Structure 1
């Protein structure tokens, strides 16, 4: 059995990346209807200029908006018409700047229709444009710059839980939930 496990480990360590594809993904929550002219501008003048772009609109409302924002950790329910997910991909790393710029341009175009104060984002697209932790000791106030975009008022509650279960902040990344200072609730 140990030999089989060792062989699996060796296979995983020796594998090569199949694709050299790069991508950038962002998201928004739409709070007011996008006009026909706005949709036309978005599709014709922005999205169609890049053949590797994808725009996903997920409708909200109905029963989903009856659930309180504080009832689950996924807060963008009430007041949002839909979620937009932007996805751009490219093959040459020399084009990264161009595609990052395009992504930001599309988000800028949609800003008039998107949530504000803070502009909300889908938590499973780590959007480093929103901000990121400087190190393992990033404060709650600093992390709130991006954390409130994903979790709204649930961010404080998540930091309280993180402080209880991972007080040493072992599990962290660029946008991980911070631990609160000792004694702070």
Structure 2
């Protein structure tokens, strides 16, 4: 009877052996913090150097893409049938400024992936369940001669997803395709 209790307790603790992964932003801890920072930018008033105080410089946001004039054209026009009058005034101002136009594209993410369930069923590939949670934020800031002329933001305020994978044959599930492709 004692061995049964030991095995049960041992198997129960195995769930902590399942893999976990996370991607966390350097500064912002919530979607709302990132949104408020972008919304506090005042086109025509905020200077690019002021972005550092908002934690929106390329040092504090290491995954920021610094965009050239050509990158911005591809991003906002990108083969579309839009005319200049269809675009926001800040975008038009930036496009007309040519090489004086610069952009910053932010991709700020906080994602956590946890495998849940039975360690043994997961380990022998019968059943795997992954819970993904967090948020994704993206923003575009355009400037001309060091002054912000346009800003916009979007993203997913809440990511909550469960991926379930069942393999009725467990570890043998992958053998079939391997045999077919190797012969």
Same fold (TM > 0.5) = no
> Larger radius of gyration, structure 1 or 2?
2
The structure with more strand, counted as a fraction of residues: 2
TM-score (norm: length of structure 1): 0.26
TM-score (norm: length of structure 2): 0.26
